[in-house]
Amino acid sequence: MTIKVAIVDYGLGNLFSINQACQQAGLSSFITSDADIISTADALILPGVGAFGDAMNSLKANNLVAPIYNFVQTGKPFMGICLGMQLLFSQSEEFGQHEGLNLIKGQIVRFPETNREGESIRVPQIQWNQIACPENQSWQNSVLKDIPEGTYMHFVHSYYAVPYNVEDILSLSEYEGIKYASAVMKDNITGIQYHPEKSAGQGIKIYQNWAHFIKNKSY
Amino acid sequence: MNNVRVIPRLDIKGPNLVKGIHLEGLRVLGKPEDFARYYYEYGADELFFQDVVASLYERNSLHDIISRTARNMFIPLTVGGGLRTIDDIKQVLRAGADKVSLNTAAIRNPQLVRDAAQKFGSSTIVVAIEAIKQPDGRYLAFVDNGREETGVEVVTWAKKAEELGAGEILITSVDREGTAEGFDLNLIKKVADVVHIPVIAHGGAGSLQNIAEAITIGNASALAIASIFHYASMGKVLADSDHEEGNTTFLRSGKRFGIINPSDITQVKEYLKISHIPCRPI
């Protein structure tokens, strides 16, 4: 059975590597901005790099907001990556206040200029950083199934998510003393701040887990 | 301290991986794809591809190499050399690059950095600075692969590049490049201390101790290393001598470059670890 994964093209982000990673995981992925094609996909990915406000404006200008909401309502798997993860939230403070898709309640805020010791912080965070499982959370029914705690993933971002409901947090990471949500999950929605498609073998495992879930309706 | 990134740097001329000294006198070492694959499998955190003649010929010819390499390599790839317009950048990103490195065009047209950062996101834009130390101790930025002086002072330019929206600075000491005499720690520290974005140290990676000092003394966030990795890998990378272009005498001779003490990525990362410098383990 061919599993069709639509990668939303709204003019932002490196779609090439996400497409490659999907195919590596056995998914039949394609890049599209066509609402009809999106609606017939088995799963949907919202990618993105750049600024939050520009991205939301671009989604609106391409008439992609309604197709995304419609897709999420069907219950089919939906994943946001990097800026695509941040867009799932209610709003962002990036260059003024911007409203997001509000699929997950919470805020997007910037890393501060200094850490608790008063030392200046380098932003963006660009590094391989570790992911941890929050207390009372399990990765067994998620894209992180069988990925060891403490695995290093590739991160590139200046802003981070603060979910209102802690139960939405799937993984935690720490940058300059700030512990924050580096992945979230709510019903059929998964959001990942890091770049699994740039995190070598363990990153591809995330796509493979997701592919298994799309196929079998369980992780 | 953040996890330091170890980035093999591949200088490319035509179809070949090359290496020179002070960015000149290029020798053919092999095929870039073979080395890239090897580094990916043996723990590289990112890869940096530089078309070393692109700026001279005003074109970047790495699209094919990048699209072949990016297909099955899942770590960040940065591409530099001869990128002069938003459209040039778009094309290498489409070919599979994650980031672009701008030098010559950025100095000649700083607005390009601002426009590119706005269009593709700051984290996609690396500003590369080629520094040559002057007799009076100042560092000046050069372009066209260290060939042409700009009169621009390096630290001032680094600060400006950050303001324009660069996400990272790659600082090359042309004086040390290819010599394995050691990173210019003074240069790296000057730049790293004046900006709040990550700085990649490049040019002259020498002993393991010197590599660690680029972090502990130079305050760099990442290390771009060419010669000592390439010379450590030459025997292990697929020995394919199908090189028709370039100066291959060295390659065919089977010799090694005398003064360079080769280390592989594992050795560098192990040394960082015992020096209490965190990095992603292999």
Distance CA B205, CA A78 (A): 44
**More confident of the two residues B58 and B37:** B37
B5–A16 C-beta distance less than 8 A: no
**More confident of the two residues A144 and B144:** A144
Which residues have CB under 8 Å from A179's CB, separation 6+?
A: A172, A173
Q: Which tokens is B180 given? A: 């394995």
Taken in order of first residue, the domains within chain B and their CATH numbers are 5-274 (3.20.20.70)
* Chain CA centroid to CA A138, Å: 18
Kindly report, residue by residue over B205-215, the tens digit of the pLDDT. Answer: 988 999 999 99
Kindly name the residue from B33, B45, B130, B177 that is annotated as catalytic.
B130
Over pLDDT 90: what percentage of chain B? Answer: 65
Q: What is the pLDDT of residue B241?
A: 47
**More confident of the two residues A188 and B236:** A188
Measure CB to CB from residue A122 to each of B118, B221, B281 and give the nearest one: B221
Q: What is the pLDDT of residue A30?
A: 95
Q: What is the pLDDT of residue B52?
A: 87
Q: What is the pLDDT of residue B187?
A: 98
Tell me which residue has tokens 């890998």.
B233
Give the 3-state secondary structure of residue B42: coil
Give the 3-state secondary structure of residue B131: strand
Q: How does residue B245 score in pLDDT terms, banded at 50, 70 and 90? A: low
Q: Which tokens is B267 given? A: 């050795």
DSSP A52: H
Tell me how many degrees the CA angle A154-A202-A69 measures, rounded to the nearest 5: 75
Tell me how many degrees the CA angle B212-B220-B151 measures, rounded to the nearest 5: 125
**More confident of the two residues A207 and B58:** A207
Tell me how many degrees the CA angle A144-A147-A152 measures, rounded to the nearest 5: 100
Q: How does residue A97 score in pLDDT terms, banded at 50, 70 and 90? A: confident
From the candidates A15, A83, A125, A126, which should be mutated to test the interface with B, based on the most B CB atoms within 10 A? A126
Measure CB to CB from residue B123 to each of A49, A152, A176 and give the nearest one: A49
Residue A81 has pLDDT above 60, yes or no: yes
Task: List the domain boundaries for chain A.
Answer: 4-216
Task: Read off the pLDDT of each residue in A100-127 and give the average, rounded to a whole number.
Answer: 95
Residue B252 has pLDDT above 70, yes or no: no
Residues β-bridged to residue B48: B9, B78
ipTM rounded to 2 decimals:
0.94
Q: What is the pLDDT of residue B260?
A: 74
Kindly report, residue by residue over B97-153, the tens digit of the pLDDT. Answer: 999 999 999 999 999 999 999 888 899 999 999 999 999 999 999 998 778 889 999
Three-state secondary structure readout of A90-153: EEECCCCCEECCCCEEEEEEECCCECCCCCECCCCEEEEEECECCCCCCCCCCCCCCCCCCCEE
Kindly report, residue by residue over A12-39, the tens digit of the pLDDT. Answer: 767 889 999 999 999 999 999 999 999 9
Distance from CA of B80 to the nearest CA of A (A): 17
Helix (H) / strand (E) element for B265: namely helix B265-274
Q: How does residue B255 score in pLDDT terms, banded at 50, 70 and 90? A: low
Q: Which tokens is B217 given? A: 């003394």
Kindly report, residue by residue over A171-181, the tens digit of the pLDDT. Answer: 999 999 999 99
Kindly report, residue by residue over B116-132, the tens digit of the pLDDT. Answer: 998 888 999 999 999 99
Q: What is the pLDDT of residue A36?
A: 97
Task: Read off the pLDDT of each residue in B197-201 and give the average, rounded to a whole number.
Answer: 98
Kindly report, residue by residue over A25-76, the tens digit of the pLDDT. Answer: 999 999 999 999 999 999 999 998 888 888 999 999 999 999 999 999 999 9
Which residues have CB under 8 Å from A148's CB, separation 6+?
A: none
**Does residue B40 sit at the A interface (CB-CB below 8 Å)?**
yes
B121–A113 C-beta distance less than 8 A: no
Give the 3-state secondary structure of residue A28: strand
Tell me which residue has tokens 């019903």.
A187
DSSP B53: T
A24–B72 C-beta distance less than 8 A: yes
Q: How does residue B70 score in pLDDT terms, banded at 50, 70 and 90? A: confident
Distance CA A177, CA A174 (A): 6
Q: Which tokens is B187 given? A: 């240069």
DSSP B183: -
Examine the residue annotation and report whether B11 is marked as an active-site residue of this protein: yes
Q: What is the pLDDT of residue B57?
A: 66
Q: Could you give the residue numbers annotated as active site of A?
A: 82, 195, 197
Q: Closest by alpha carbon to B207, among B131, B268, B277, B274? A: B268
Tell me which residue has tokens 């979910």.
A163
Kindly report, residue by residue over B164-197, the tens digit of the pLDDT. Answer: 999 999 999 999 988 888 999 999 999 999 999 9
Which of the listed CATH numbers 3.30.2230.10, 3.40.50.880, 3.90.79.10, 2.60.120.620 matches domain A4-216? 3.40.50.880
